[in-house]
Amino acid sequence: MKTYDIYFSDGVSSDHKGFAIKAEEKAVRMAEDMLAKGNFYTEQYAGGTISVVDSEGTAVWSKPIPKN
């Protein structure tokens, strides 16, 4: 069974939350909430991207993180 995690990247560095979310839709909703509400990662990686990546390493969703 695939799991999903949320990744942040700015072209220089990247990080991920370490989640093992079982539903792709839930992971995407969580990522969209992080974009809407903001958090440490969206501030640190402003101008980069936020992505939902499955356990096989495939990005299944991605959006740019707006600069502040």
- Residue pLDDT, tens place only, 28-50: 999 999 999 999 999 999 999 99
Tell me the two tokens of residue 16.
């991920």
pLDDT average, residue stretch 13-41? 96
- Residue 68 confidence (pLDDT) above 80: no
Q: Give 6: exposed, middle or buried? Use CB within 10 Å, 0-12, 13-18, 19+.
A: buried
Q: Is residue 68 part of a domain?
A: no
Domain that holds residue 41: 2-63
How many distinct structural domains can be found in the chain? 1
- Residue 67 confidence (pLDDT) above 80: yes
User: What pTM was computed for the model?
Assistant: 0.93
Query: Strand 49-54 to strand 59-64: parallel, antiparallel, or no bridges (unpaired)?
Result: antiparallel
Q: Is residue 55 part of a domain?
A: yes
| Secondary-structure breakdown of the chain: helix, strand, coil percentages, each rounded to the nearest 5 | 30, 30, 40
pLDDT score recorded for residue 22: 98
